[in-house]
Structure formats: C-alpha cells, structure tokens
C-alpha cells in the first residue's frame, strides 16, 4: 500500500513538472542551452540543471571534444597573443633584450577572397644604449584588389662598413680588416599602395621618408670623413614614385608555386623637402616550384640602383636576413647591387621543416662595372616551425655563411623570400 502511494506521488510530481516545462517559453530554453555552450567555449567546467534533450546533451559533449586542442594548436594559440623574447650578447653592444611579434589576420570576415593581412614588430635595447624598433604591415582588402605595404623604424645604433665598394679587405691572417664604425639615429617610414589592374597584375605608388641625425664617425681618419662622403652631416630624404607588381603565388608568406615580381621607382626632389636629390630603382623577381609532396624550390634575383647625389646611408646594401644571409647588411654598399639565390624547403615532421640555400651577389658603382669575378658567395641552412596552420606561416631560424669565416644567425617570421 505504501509503495502504491509512493508511486502515485512520483507520478503526480512528474506530471506537474511536465506542465511546468511546457509553460516555459522558447527563449528560456534557448537561454539555458546558450549558458552551457558558452561555458564550454570559454574552456570552463560548467554544471547546470538546464533543460536539454538527450540529443542536445550529446551535442554539447561533442562540442567539448572539438574544443580540446592538441599540443601544436595550443602552441599556435600562444604565438597569436604572446610576443617572442629575444636575448643576445656582443662585446660591441653588450646585452640585448627585446620582443618580436607577428600576426596574420583577415581585415573583413565577409571578404573570403582576400589573402591574409599581416603585422609584425620588433623592439630591442642593449645595455650600451643601442635601440631598434620596427613595425611592418601588409594590408590586403577589397577582394584582393588592394594591397598596402607600410613600415616604420627608429634606430640608434652603429653601422659597420668596409668602405664604399665591393672589396672585402683582409689582413695577413685572412680576417676581415678595415672595418669602420659610424653611429647615427634614424627615423624612417614608407608606404606602397598597389591596385589590381589585370589578373595577377598590380600598379600603384610608393612614398618614403627618412631623417638621419646625430651622426658620429670615428674621427678624421674615417674614410667617410677623408672623402667627404655625401650624407655625413645627416639630412632628410623625402621621395615619391611608382610601383608595380605581378603576383601569382598560392601563399604570399610561405609560397609553394607561382611567381612574384615587384618593382619601384622613387624620386627624391628638392621641392618635396629632400636634402639630397637622387633616384632609386628596385626590382625583385621570384619563382616557386613544387617538385613533389610539400617540397619547394624557390628562386630569387634582385637588383637595386641609385644615382646622382645619393647619401652613403641610402646606397644599395648587400647582405641581411633575407638576401646574402651571413653577410652583415651594409658592410658592402654602392650605387648598384645585384644578387640571386636558390633555396630548397622540405617538411620533416608535423610542424617542423628544414631549408638549405646558396646565393651570390655583388655591388658596383654602375652596371657597366659589373663582372663575374667580383661576386661574393653565400650558403647556409635553417629550420622552420609552423606558427599559423590556417595561413601556413612559419617562424624561421637561419644560419648563413660566407668564405673566410663570414657568418650570421637570423630569427624571423615567414620565409626569406
């Protein structure tokens, strides 16, 4: 009898409960479901008495499984928000500390055609007062029809030169000799706007501003002083001109096929406020092949030319972290630069890869003075770590070398070219 009464009581409670459930609005049900979903999306452990059907409960469990990230995905997530710390030491600069950051993103979620935009920055300071801060962007929008590339840089640190020209001076032991130091402060920024004119073909304009001040050389014996080099007293460069590009790459930052050509012609006239009147021309041509599964062969050839009263700090510079890696950028400089390189890129395991390259380049006062026996050689290798799977972007660490102990180490984002 007691069991029958208990059963009737439970039945009555279930009926009342069912009536209460039916009386709830759809909005209440939606709100209850949203609370659970939001909690899982935020990675929180949620316990709730929300009203859900068995199918809804299963969907929530499936969502929790999707949100669970692998170790690689967690690392990529960290790269999106946390800058990479830097540290190094040299007897000339002392202890260097800094931060570097790189992000790829879409300017508009509605624009599914435009390739990703990027922003990258680096800032460093040394215990001896050297400062370098840079910010670079490439904004892509309007269904990939408009590209705006810009950069900003401030630096207060010395540069090292082996005179102006293509000769590396060495002592009897074969070590690099006649290296001269000059220190200055520089504020520089520029922008290039490209607009789609035909399939893969862009045309636009370029602008550049730079101010060089507080230039200090090593004294009267410095070759810049002896030869009264243009720009030794500093000055302001203001230039404007034309830009054009051809771009059929499948990925602008880690390409595996297609081609790319970029050219700019910038004039620095007095009426724009330029302290020196000269012209600069740049041509950069690249080609990419994918011989087999995710392996890439990349080719690049570039040339820079400047004329008239170009200051020494605006000459064409050999070396750096993208071309002729291993050579200190600007140690060799002149009005003309030509260089080329080939690089092999291969995947190794999951997010890791390896590269190897070889290159050659030289400077000259004009194109008529170029000769094959004056080229310098560069070679090296590096490894890659993918930091953005969605946009296929790597962080790279490269080790570049040249004859007689020339060497350099570089850490950067996206491929060198």
We report the CATH number of the domain holding residue 103 as: 2.40.160.50
Q: Which among 123, 85, 82, 86 is positioned nearest to 103, based on CA atoms?
A: 82
Binned at pLDDT 50, 70 and 90, residue 280 comes out as very high
Q: Which residue has the higher pLDDT, 172 or 341?
A: 341
Cα separation, 325 vs 340, in Å, equals 11
Q: Are residues 60 and 78 in the same domain?
A: no
Which of 37, 68, 99 terminates a domain? The answer is: 68
Specify if 11 maps to a domain: no
Q: Rounded distance, CA 144 to CA 11, Å? A: 65
Checking if the pLDDT of 414 tops 70, the result is yes
Mean pLDDT of 342-364: 96
pLDDT grade for 49, boundaries at 50, 70 and 90:
very low
pLDDT band (50, 70, 90) for residue 18: very low
Do 234 and 371 fall into the same domain?
A: yes
Domain assignment of residue 2, yes or no = no
Q: How does 66-78 read in b/e, with b if 16+ C-beta sit within 10 Å?
A: eeeeeeeeeebee
Residue 19: band (very low, low, confident or very high) from pLDDT cuts 50, 70, 90: very low
Q: Is residue 18 part of a domain?
A: no
Taking alpha carbons only, the member of 56, 83, 54, 80 closest to residue 69 is 80
The whole-number pLDDT of residue 31 equals 29
pLDDT category at 180 given cuts 50, 70, 90 is confident
Look at residue 296 in the predicted model and tell me its pLDDT. 97
Same domain, 226 and 339: yes
pLDDT band at 200 (very low <50, low <70, confident <90, very high): very high
**Helical (H) or strand (E) element with 338:** strand 336-349
The helix/strand/coil state of 43 is coil
Could you tell me if residue 8 is inside a domain? no
Residues 285 and 408 in one domain: yes
- Per-residue pLDDT at 194: 98
DSSP 168: -
- Report helix angle 26-41 to 54-67, nearest 10: 20
Residue where a domain terminates, one of 39, 68, 97: 68
Per residue in 287-306, pLDDT (tens digit) is 999 999 899 999 999 999 99
Say whether both 368 and 394 belong to one domain: yes
- Residue 63 and residue 89 in one domain: no
- Among the listed residues 390, 370, 409, 337, the one whose alpha carbon sits nearest the alpha carbon of residue 118: 390
Q: With beta carbons less than 8 A apart as the criterion, state whether 298 and 286 touch.
A: yes
The phi, psi pair for 63, rounded to 5°, reads -60, -40
Pairwise CA distance, residues 417 & 409, whole Å = 17
Residue-wise burial string across 191-224, b where 16 or more C-beta atoms lie within 10 A, e elsewhere: bbbbebeeeeebebebbbbbbbeebebeeeebeb
Residues 177 and 99 in one domain: yes
Does residue 12 sit within a domain? Answer: no
Is 80 exceeded by the pLDDT of residue 321?
yes
pLDDT at 7 over 90: no
53 and 104 in a common domain = no
Which has more pLDDT, 27 or 304? 304
Evaluate whether residue 159 is within a structural domain. yes
**Per the structure, how many domains does the chain have?**
2
Same domain, 230 and 327: yes
pLDDT over 60 at 391, yes or no: yes
Of the residues 68, 97, 125, which one is the last residue of a structural domain?
Answer: 68
- pTM of the full predicted structure? 0.79
Same domain flag for 154 and 179:
yes
- Per the model's pLDDT, the better-predicted residue between 30 and 244 turns out to be 244
Query: Can you give the pLDDT at residue 219?
Result: 62
d(CA 280, CA 79): 37
Q: What phi and psi, each to the nearest 5 degrees, are found at residue 2?
A: -65, -35
Residue matched to tokens 């920055």: 121
Answer whether residue 282 is part of any domain.
yes
What are the beta bridge partners of residue 352? Answer: 349, 385
Q: Report yes or no on 15 lying in a domain.
A: no
Whether residue 120 is found in the same domain as residue 199: yes
Asked whether residue 386 carries a pLDDT value surpassing 60, the answer given is: yes
Which of 160-164, 279-283, 355-359 comes out lowest in average pLDDT? 160-164
Structure token digits, residue 99: 């931060």
- Same domain, yes or no, for 41 and 184? no
Pairing of strands 131-141, 393-401: unpaired
Distance CA 31, CA 52 (A): 11
Q: Which domain holds residue 29?
A: 25-68
Residue found by looking up tokens 């599914």 in the block:
112
**165 to each of 31, 161, 174, 318, 331, how far by Cα in Å?**
73, 10, 19, 10, 9
């Amino acid at each position: 009898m007691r069991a029958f009464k208990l059963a009737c009581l439970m039945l009555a409670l279930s009926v009342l409960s069912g009536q209460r459930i039916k009386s709830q609005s759809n909005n209440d049900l939606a709100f209850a479901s949203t609370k659970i979903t939001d909690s899982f999306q935020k990675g929180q452990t949620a316990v709730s008495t929300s009203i859900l059907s068995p199918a809804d409960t299963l969907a929530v469990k499936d969502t929790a499984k999707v949100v669970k990230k692998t170790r690689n995905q967690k690392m990529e997530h960290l790269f999106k928000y946390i800058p990479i710390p830097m540290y190094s030491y040299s007897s000339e600069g002392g202890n260097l500390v800094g931060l570097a950051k790189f992000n790829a993103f879409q300017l508009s979620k509605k624009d599914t055609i435009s390739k990703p935009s990027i922003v990258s920055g680096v800032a460093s300071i040394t215990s001896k007062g050297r400062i370098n801060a840079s910010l670079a962007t490439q904004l892509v929008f309007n269904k990939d029809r408009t590209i705006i590339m810009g950069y900003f840089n401030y630096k207060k640190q010395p540069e090292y030169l082996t005179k102006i020209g293509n000769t590396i001076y060495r002592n009897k032991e074969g070590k690099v000799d006649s290296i001269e130091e000059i220190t200055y402060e520089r504020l520089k920024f520029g922008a290039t706007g490209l607009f789609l004119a035909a399939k893969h073909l862009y045309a636009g304009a370029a602008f550049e501003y730079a101010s060089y001040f507080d230039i200090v050389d090593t004294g009267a014996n410095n070759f810049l002083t002896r030869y009264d080099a243009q720009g030794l007293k500093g000055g302001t460069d203001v230039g404007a001109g034309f830009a054009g590009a051809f771009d059929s790459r499948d990925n602008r930052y880690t390409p595996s096929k297609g081609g790319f050509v970029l050219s700019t012609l910038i004039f620095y006239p007095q009426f724009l406020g330029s302290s020196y009147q000269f012209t600069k021309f740049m041509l950069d041509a690249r080609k990419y092949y994918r011989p087999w599964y995710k392996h890439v062969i990349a080719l690049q050839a570039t040339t820079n030319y400047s004329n008239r009263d170009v200051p020494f700090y605006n000459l064409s510079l050999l070396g750096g972290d993208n071309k002729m890696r291993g050579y200190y950028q600007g140690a060799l400089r002149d009005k003309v630069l030509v260089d080329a390189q080939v690089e092999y890129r291969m995947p190794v395991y999951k997010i890791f890869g390896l590269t190897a390259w070889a290159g050659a380049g030289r400077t000259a006062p004009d194109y008529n003075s170029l000769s094959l026996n004056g080229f310098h050689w560069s070679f090296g290798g590096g490894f890659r770590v993918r930091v953005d799977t969605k946009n296929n972007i790597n962080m790279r660490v490269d080790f570049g070398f040249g004859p007689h102990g020339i060497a350099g180490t570089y850490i950067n984002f996206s491929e060198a070219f």
